[in-house]
Amino acid sequence: MKPTGPVLRLVVALVYGFILIPIVIVLAVSFSADNYIVFPPSGWSLRWYGTLLATPTLFEAFRVSVMLAALVTVLALACGMPAAFLIARHRFRGRDALFGFFTAPLLLPTLVLALALLLAFHPWGLAATVPGLVLAHLTVTLPFVIRILTTAFANLTPDVEDAAATLGARPFTVFRRVTLPLVVPGLIAATALAFLLSFDETVISLFISGPRLQTLPVAVYHYVERRTDPAIAALSALMITGSIAIVVLVERMVGLMRAVGR
């Protein structure tokens, strides 16, 4: 019995075409020589990449997004790792409730969360500030990190830690020498995904950011809203390449699908 038949394979190929087409076309259009989005383009050039370099608002937005994503990732890991360790490895009353509390923001529509953050952060003076954006992004990245790392910690067999303890290792040494090295794949995946999640976050940023502080997705959003020219294709191509690079890197290092727990 063969695992997959020809009909299934054909259908799957068509769906993959559907998934890949917008991405491939964006990459192609980014090398267009036309002033508008035309496919196929009448000629090829790198002029839109040049335009990109000459647009300081996009550059600034890129800088903000990278800084933001880095900050958010570090904070999400710093807060999320102890919480995940506690939930995965300790037995205490209310453990399930605590896990539910930590992951609840993932169940809520981002749009509602974004509005709630705007309403709360505006009177606190946090709207359109870097600390405000960092906190707002943590609302979704922190639960995500906690969920991935909880799986990673829970997948460890406690026997290995017990073995270290019987060999004379104190609890902190057990954590440093045995537990931590064994969750490194989960940590890498969590780091990469938290960074991507924050870097790509659009809806919350749209609500929280202002004219003087824009993230890259927000800047692209406003650009697309006003006009569509191949400059955005060039920028999109760069963003897609960046995402692919991170995913390939993580896949090479640990196997993304395995780390996500599927």
Q: Is 261 exposed, middle or buried (CB count within 10 Å of its CB: 0-12, 13-18, 19+)?
A: middle
Cα 120 → chain centroid? 24
Answer yes or no whether residue 143 interacts with other proteins by CB under 8 A: yes
Q: How many helices (H) and strands (E) does the chain have?
A: 14, 0
- Please, which residue, 8 or 46, has the CB nearer to other proteins? 8
Q: What is the rounded CA–CA span in Å between residue 27 and residue 203?
A: 24
Q: Rounded to 5 degrees, what angle do the CA atoms 211, 212, 216 make?
A: 80
Give me the least distance between CB of 158 and other proteins, in Å please.
5
- Please, which residue, 182 or 188, has the CB nearer to other proteins? 182
Give me the least distance between CB of 70 and other proteins, in Å please.
17
Task: Select from 87, 127, 133, 190 the one that contacts other proteins (CB under 8 A).
Answer: 87
Cα 226 → chain centroid? 26
CB atoms within 10 A of CB 80: 24
46: phi then psi, degrees, rounded to nearest 5: -105, 15
Give me the least distance between CB of 79 and other proteins, in Å please.
4
Residue numbers 161-200 binding other proteins by CB under 8 A: 161-171, 173, 177-178, 181-182, 196, 200
- Please, which residue, 50 or 124, has the CB nearer to other proteins? 124
Task: Select from 60, 67, 89, 155 the one that contacts other proteins (CB under 8 A).
Answer: 89
The torsion angle over the Cα atoms of residues 23, 231, 41 and 47, rounded to 10 degrees, is: -130
Residue numbers 1-20 binding other proteins by CB under 8 A: 1, 3-5, 8-9, 11-12, 15-16, 18-20
Residue numbers 145-164 binding other proteins by CB under 8 A: 146, 157-164
Peptide bond into 40 cis (omega under 30): yes
Residue numbers 110-129 binding other proteins by CB under 8 A: 110-113, 115-121
List 32's β-bridge partners, or say none.
44
Residue numbers 197-236 binding other proteins by CB under 8 A: 200, 202-203, 206-207, 217, 220-221, 224-225, 228, 232-233, 236
Task: Select from 66, 71, 74, 86 the one that contacts other proteins (CB under 8 A).
Answer: 86
